[in-house]
Each structure stands twice: as C-alpha cells, then as structure tokens.
Amino acid sequence: MLSRHFLRSKVLQTVYAVYTDPVDTVVAEKNFKHMINRFSDLGTLQLSAMVHFVEVASTMIDEAQHKYLPTEAERNPNRRLPNNIFIQRLAANYDYRHHCKESNVNWGGVEYDEMFRQAFSAFAKLPDYTEYLATEQSFETDHQFALKLFKYIINYELLRDNLFAQSLLWEDDFDQIAQYNFMMLKALDSSLDEATVIPVMNDDRIEKDVEAFDFARRLLLVTLRHGQEVENMIRSHLKGWEFERVAFMDVLLLNMAVAELTEFPSIPERVTVDEYIELSKEFSTERSKLFINGILDKFIIELRSAGRINKTGRGLLDPTLLEEDDQ
C-alpha cells in the first residue's frame, strides 16, 4: 500500500511537471496514474529478481555437475536453494505470475544472465548461504532465508543500476518500494499457495489502496484548479519582501496544502501542516519549513474566517492558539 505521504510527494512532482511543461488536467491526471502504476511494476521486478536469481543458481549448479573435472561438492550438490519451499510457492502463485505478465517482466538476454551469475557466485561465498545449506529444511527456515536473499538481491549494485536505467523515477523510491515488498513477503506464512493474494503497491482490489489513490487524484486536480488564488493569498501575507523571492517549490507546497485544508474535511489541520512541513524538508530549501509553517498558520485563520475549512473528527487545530502565535 502506498502511504499518503508518498502519494503527496508524487502529486507534488506532477504539479511541478505541469507548471514547468504545461498540459491540461486530463493529461496531468493520466500521467499521474501512469507514474503510480509504474511503481507497482518496479515492485514486481524486485520480486521477480529474487525468483530469477534462484533459477539462474539452479542452472549454474547443474552446469557444475557436468564440468570436465568437477569437485566432490559439485558432483553431489546441495540443492536447498533451487528447492526453497517459499520461493517455489511464490513462483507458482497465480497473482505473482499475473503481475509479472502485466509488468512485462523479462530477465532474458546475455546481459541479465551474466549479472545474475555474478550475483550468485558472490552470494555463494557468504556465511548466510553456507549456514542455510546446513539447516534442516522447513517452510520456516526457507522463508527466513528468502527474506535474507531478497535483501541481498535488492542491494546488489548491478541490479539497481539496470532497474534505474528503465525509469528515472525509480531511483528515489526504490528502497521504499523494497521495504513494502519485504514486509509483504515477511507477512506471508505456510498457507502460501497458488491462490494466495500477492498485492502490488497500488492494488485496486484493496479498498484502502483505492481510497488512497482517489485522495491523491483529487488532491492533484484541486491543486491545479486554484494556483492563482493561492498565489494571491501568499502575496497578501508577505511583509518586507517580494513574491518572486519565494521558492517555487514552496508556492506549490502551499497550493497543495490549501487544497487539502479546504477540500478534505476528514484530514485534521495539524496533519496537513505537519505533512507539508515534512515535504518542504525533502523537496525545498533549508528555511522552507519555517516559512511553510508560518504561512499555513495564517492561511488557516483566514480560511476559517471565510468558512472554507470545515473539519470533522479528532486532532484539529485550535484556531485561538494560531491567533496567539500570530501576535
């Protein structure tokens, strides 16, 4: 599941793209959906990399048996890895195979083959692999080892470079998506079979995912509608300096924040303020967090007075505290 913080950051990137290379809202919405779906593709590629790694390892073990002068270990190999119960069940799972087909997963080709061969040769020398070969086979031991293997594959530099080359967007979010996949794999248990649901990052079969994506889509469209209004609001609260001195990213963040404050009654004001302060730390200048915090406090007072903020639920800001801060 994509977090709302993650989705806000992607809305920000889409809004930035629209302002730097203008398109209409229909195209912007389409581009945003494509971006989010591509993150599901990346998640599937990460999972499939582990499965393909094991397939290549199995091939290499078989090849070693037929060498001209194989060692004793090569003649009688330990096939724990190719026979890993957890990875075999994952590879046979309907959802997993469907995701691979939808994402056009293809690890064929000499370049990828050599990459996975190098990865296995290096991994086979690690203590984790030696210890695993010595353990008694069970779903649990195979599951725990698969989690270690996934971490190894995800951190393998050549794999990361190859995936980053497929999309400029993936490098920044690669580790977050890997963390999602790791937690998803960890949550699977011995009931894993062909029919088990293997969710992707943005899964329209899961109600929370649908709600989260709908939130982000609406946030994008409302933000694009009210850019001039927010610019005017910012100008009215600037004292002693010009609007042109405001960081462009800060203007976009405030635009999004006003959209969220006025159009999403179930999201507490404090949550919105905190979220955009955090986004300013990630995407804007060192001083932006102070500017965003101060301006949003003034915006909330103004919007409340105009009757444009009507929040429901807990965790709301007390407007009298904002008035005290402004004095």
Among 150, 170, 203, the domain boundary falls at 203
Q: What is the model's pTM?
A: 0.84
Q: What per-residue confidence (pLDDT) applies to 313? A: 59
Domain that holds residue 47: 4-203
Please indicate, yes or no, whether residues 179 and 248 belong to a single structural domain of this protein.
Answer: no
Please enumerate in sequence order all residues whose Cβ is within 8 A of that of 251, keeping only pairs 6 or more positions apart, or say none: 230, 231, 234
- Return d(Cα 85, Cα 116) in angstroms, integer: 21
The pLDDT tens digits for 140-188 are 999 999 999 999 999 999 999 988 888 877 888 899 999 999 999 999 9
Residue 325 has pLDDT above 70, yes or no: no
Residue 209 within any structural domain of the chain? no
Contact 258, 233 (CB under 8 A): yes
Q: What does the block give as tokens for 189?
A: 């248990």
Residue 319 has pLDDT above 70, yes or no: no
What's the mean pLDDT in 95-115?
91
The pLDDT tens digits for 228-274 are 888 899 999 888 778 888 999 999 999 999 999 999 999 999 999 99
Q: What percent of the chain has pLDDT over 90?
A: 73
Please indicate, yes or no, whether residues 195 and 233 belong to a single structural domain of this protein.
Answer: no
Please indicate, yes or no, whether residues 123 and 247 belong to a single structural domain of this protein.
Answer: no
Residue 302 within any structural domain of the chain? yes
Domain count, the chain: 2
Contact 276, 253 (CB under 8 A): yes
Q: What per-residue confidence (pLDDT) applies to 316? A: 47
Residue 218 within any structural domain of the chain? no
Residue 123 has pLDDT above 50, yes or no: yes
Q: What does the block give as tokens for 29?
A: 């919405």
Residue 216 within any structural domain of the chain? no
Please indicate, yes or no, whether residues 167 and 245 belong to a single structural domain of this protein.
Answer: no
What's the mean pLDDT in 107-119?
91
Residue 213 within any structural domain of the chain? no
Q: What per-residue confidence (pLDDT) applies to 264? A: 95
User: Torsions phi, psi of 21, nearest 5?
Assistant: -140, 80
Residue 212 within any structural domain of the chain? no
Which amino acid type is present at position 118?
Q
| CATH at 307 | 1.10.940.10
The pLDDT tens digits for 74-88 are 778 889 999 999 999
